[in-house]
Amino acid sequence: MTAKRVLVTGSSGLIGSEAVLLFDSRGYDVCGIDNNGRKGFFGPDGDTAWNLERLKSQTKRFTSYHADLRDAAAMQEISREIKPDHVIHCAAQPAHEYARLQPVVDFHVNVTGTLNLLEACRAHSTEATFVFCSSSKVYGPVNDLPYEELPTRYDLPTPDGKQTRPETSKLPGWSYDGLNEDFPLEPGDGRGVYGTDKAAADLLAQEYGVSFGMRTVCLRGNCMTGPAHAPAQVHGFLAYLARCLVEGRKYQILGHKGKQLRDNIHAADFTAAIYEVCSAPPAPGSVYNIGGGRENSVSILEAIEMLERMYGARLAAEYVDEPRHGDHRVYVSDTSKFRRDYPSWSIRWSIPNICEDLLQGLRSRADT
C-alpha cells in the first residue's frame, strides 16, 4: 500500500520540523518546503540550517525542497509532483517589527505565499486537508480589553468582575479563560501590519473552504515554543529568553514593566492538534484557537524567575520603557472550542516542563 503524503511548508522551523517528525513517525511520506527565510529576516539567530540537518538524520521518509512560497510556478510544480493528502502551512514572516519596516515583503510572504499554496492545492490536491498555521495576532483590539495589574503580571479581570477599564468590557469573545474565536478581527491596538497580513491569509484559507469546498482549517496559535526554535530578539520570547540566559547575552525587557502575559504552547502539543484535524477534518473553513490556555500563562517577569531558578544563574537584563511594536499587554487563548470538537487532545507540556526542555535543548546544541 502506498504511504500517504504530507506537504509541510516552513519545514525547518519550529512547528514545521515538529510536524515533519510526527508524520514521519506515523509512516507518512513527508515533503518539506523551506528556503531558510528566517535567516534572511533575523540574521544568524534565525538560521535554521542546523534544524534541517537534524531532520535529515532523524527521519526515514523526508524529502526537502528549497523553494519560495512567493514563486507560484514552483508551488504548482511541487504540488503536481507530490499530490499530498495533507498540507500543513507553517511558513511565514512572523515578526511585528519586521513587518512594520518591510510591509511589502511581509504581505507577499504571508498573503501571496498562502494564496499560491491554496491555488496549487486546489489544482492538484482538492481533497487534501489544508491546515493553515494562523496566529493570535489576527485579533484586533486586544489591548482595549480591561485588565488588572498584579505583582508579577497583568491579567484579565478575575471572575468577580473587578475591572480597571470597564468602558471596554463590552467587547465580545472573551472571558477570564481567554479570547475565543468570536473576538473581533477589526483593526485595533496590537494587531499591526503582521497581524493584518495573517488575518488576510486566514480569511483566504477560510474562503477557499467555503467557496471551493476545500478542507481548510485555520489554527490560530499563540506563543508556540520548543527547543527546535531559532529564536531572535523580535520573535520567540520564551526561547529567546532561555537563549540569553544560557549564552550570557543581555536581555531587554521591552515595556509593560515586564508584566505582559502570554499563554505558551510546546510545539509537540501544537502539532498534536494538527494531527487531530488531519485525521478527522472539520467543516471546510473552520477556525480554532490553539494555545497553552490559562494554565500555561506566564509573564516575562515570571519566566525570568523560573528560568533563573532552573539554570542556577542570573539573567543579565535591562528594562526599556517602550513596548515592542504590536505587543499585547495580555493574551490568553481560550481553546474550549477545539477541546470540545477534539476531546482526546490536551496540553501535555506545562510551563516548567517547557522551560526545562528549552534549557536542555540549548545545552545539547552547545555541545555539538
Q: Residue 147 catalytic?
A: yes
Helical axes 237-247 vs 300-311, angle rounded to 10°? 40
Cβ neighbours for 205, distance < 8 A, ≥ 6 positions apart:
89, 114, 118, 130, 132, 134, 216, 217, 218, 285
DSSP-assigned states of every residue in 123-169: HH-TTSEEEEEEEGGG-S-GGGS--EE-SS-EEPPPTT---S-GGGT
Strands 250-254 and 29-33: unpaired
Cβ neighbours for 161, distance < 8 A, ≥ 6 positions apart:
none
**The C-alpha cell that represents 167 in the structure block:** 468602558
75 to 20, 123, 209: CA distances (angstroms): 19, 11, 19
Backbone φ and ψ of 216, nearest 5°: -90, 145
Phi-psi group of 88: left, alpha or beta (phi > 0 → left; psi -120 to 50 → alpha; rest → beta):
beta
Catalytic: which of 98, 139, 147, 154? 147
Which residues are part of the catalytic machinery? 147
